[in-house]
A and B are shown apart, each in its own frame.
Chain A
């Protein structure tokens, strides 16, 4: 029997990690990494942070040099697109016309930016931020942009806004909810960052949607909001979330519901097909029910999990989720999933610029959001790996030693 082939669809952080971990775990068969972007696997987080700001270059983006893939015997098909999965004969069809037979299929297809369905969205100067190609365009346009409107106050939008302000543009942020980053952070953090952006000079309209985008001669000139404001703009960033790339598996008859549905081993209904990273919808002990997470940590740890699975060491995926965001001089670090908390306490004073919000559900710590307070974040990751056993009173008491508490629990 010929050596097994693992086909990995997607060259983002998750796909890359699955490939690298397979080799590290001793997988001796063929590994093929297929992605539609015509470049080597790279990191996405800097695209809305240091890379966008011009503080780092391409050398800092690559996950590994080109030589790595040759040395590790990982075939990278960059710039080709998988058009169909045939489960009966275990083959992928590619846009280039070729076919690829596989024994294990890892879907790390990621997500794509969600377009804004309003008149004028096609105008020149209305841009997304998801890929290196997007970031290169924005990096250049920010050089000339004077008035920027950011539609959507999630992580990406706010990171972009802080870079745009630092590069000298006037920035107006439009957010349809009343809470920036509200899908993923608690009210105190949302408020703190809203005020921070205002302090840096941004204007923010909350509870406001975009009615249409205005233009002249094919170029954007402004944004009209649903509450009737007309905001001048020569650059509009659309960042209202993403759509998981799951069409391939629905075409193959597998379940899709906010991403590709997998079990706790990250396996779909077909035992030979796994899904990881931004595209995967999985059950987790860190939330009620299922989640789909968009983060480096999730991509990396799930890549490792499926590599172990394929090399004969299956284990349920159970890593503590963590996230970060850099905005201006502030660093937001989140451990756990705080969505759905029913109580929260502050540790430290927000006015000092260093504090954390400890979030509880039914009396149990489920997540911690820290602002420029790495020590709390590190402890939180340890605590959440087991039963935190930390009361809200202890969390709020700055004289209570969290490190000692974590040491007593004995988790790493």
Chain B
């Protein structure tokens, strides 16, 4: 099963097995990872599952839809070039080893 690493703002790392087909957001929720809120449950309505993807892994992530780009303007923490909504990062075998950094705040 692919492993996803969630890095908290204080540097703590949580490494989780997330099944293929499950989003990085849902993987965090199912394991109660602090720092992913996911108010809307993955509907791209809230931008509270914001993560920063490890820069050199960006190329492995699925492309951003226009809706995701628009909603990323609503993040509580600063939007950066590697900002993603983790509900849109559906885990595939290629995403094994993905590292995402959690922002200071989601709301």
Hey, which bits of chain A sit against chain B, CB under 8 A?
43, 45-46, 59-60, 62-65, 67-68, 71, 296-297, 300, 304, 322, 324, 326, 331, 333, 374-375, 377-378, 381-382, 403, 412
Shortest Cβ gap from B43 to chain A (Å): 6
A-B CB proximity, top 10 nearest: A374-B70, A375-B70, A374-B67, A68-B32, A43-B41, A378-B70, A300-B39, A324-B45, A378-B74, A378-B73
Q: Does B26 contact A (CB under 8 A)?
A: yes
Complex-state Cα separation, A412 to B70, whole angstroms: 13
Please measure, in the bound complex, the distance between the C-alpha atom of A59 and the C-alpha atom of B22, giving whole angstroms: 10
Q: How far is the CB of A156 from chain B (nearest CB, A)?
A: 16
- Which residue of B32, B41, B74 contacts A60 across the interface (Cβ within 8 Å)? B41
State A53–B44 Cα separation when bound (angstroms).
19
Give the shortest distance, in Å, between A380 (CB) and chain B (any CB): 11
| Contact of B15 with A by CB under 8 A | no
Return the chain B residue nearest A56 by Cβ: B42
Determine chain A's interface SS by DSSP, over half rule.
helix
Whole-angstrom CA separation of A71 from B31 in the bound complex: 11
Mask for B70-89, Cβ within 8 A of A = 1, else 0?
11011010000000000000
B40 interface residue per 8 A CB criterion: yes
Closest to A17 in B: B39
Interface size on B, residues (CB 8 A): 22
In the bound complex, what is the Cα–Cα distance between A401 and B70 (angstroms)?
14
- Interface membership of B1, Cβ < 8 A: no
**Sampled A-B contacts (23; CB under 8 Å):** A45-B40, A46-B41, A60-B42, A62-B30, A64-B29, A65-B31, A67-B32, A71-B32, A296-B39, A296-B40, A296-B45, A297-B46, A324-B40, A374-B44, A374-B67, A374-B70, A375-B66, A375-B70, A377-B70, A378-B74, A403-B73, A412-B74, A412-B76
C-alpha gap A403/B72 in the complex (Å): 13
Instruction: List residues of B (1-58) whose CB comes within 8 Å of A's CBs.
Output: 22, 26, 29-32, 39-46
CA distance in complex: A281, B103 (Å): 34
Complex Cα distance, B44 from A65, in Å, reads: 21
Nearest chain A residue, comparing its CB with the CB of B34: A24
Report the separation of the CA atoms of residues A324 and B42 in the bound assembly, to the nearest whole angstrom.
12
Nearest residue in B to A21 (C-beta to C-beta)? B107
**Which of the residues A63, A304, A333, A382 comes within 8 Å of B45, measured between beta carbons?**
A333
Q: Which residues of B contact A65 (CB under 8 A)?
A: 29-32
- Which residue on chain A has the smallest CB distance to residue B38? A63
Tell which of A62, A68, A297, A412 touches B39, judged by Cβ atoms closer than 8 Å: A297
A313 CB to closest chain B CB (Å) equals 14
Bound-state CA distance A386–B66 (Å) is: 26
Q: Given A46-B41, A60-B42, A297-B39, does the pair A381, B74 have CB atoms closer than 8 Å?
A: yes
Closest to A299 in B: B39
**B68 (CB) vs chain A CBs: closest residue:** A374
Chain A, Cβ-Cβ closest to B40: A296
Distance A378 CA – B30 CA, assembled complex (angstroms): 28
Q: A331-B67, A375-B66, A378-B71 are in contact. List 9 more A-B contacts (CB 8 A).
A: A45-B40, A45-B43, A63-B29, A65-B29, A65-B32, A68-B32, A296-B45, A333-B45, A375-B70
CB distance from B61 to the nearest CB of A (A): 19
| Complex contact B26–A59 (CB within 8 A) | yes
B residues within 8 A CB of A296? Answer: 39-41, 45
The docked-state distance in angstroms from the alpha carbon of A71 to that of B32 is 9
Q: CB-CB < 8 A to B31: which residues of A?
A: 65
User: By the criterion CB–CB under 8 Å, are B26 and A374 in contact?
Assistant: no
B26 touches A60 (CB 8 A): yes
Q: Complex formed: what's the CA distance from A401 to B13 in Å?
A: 41
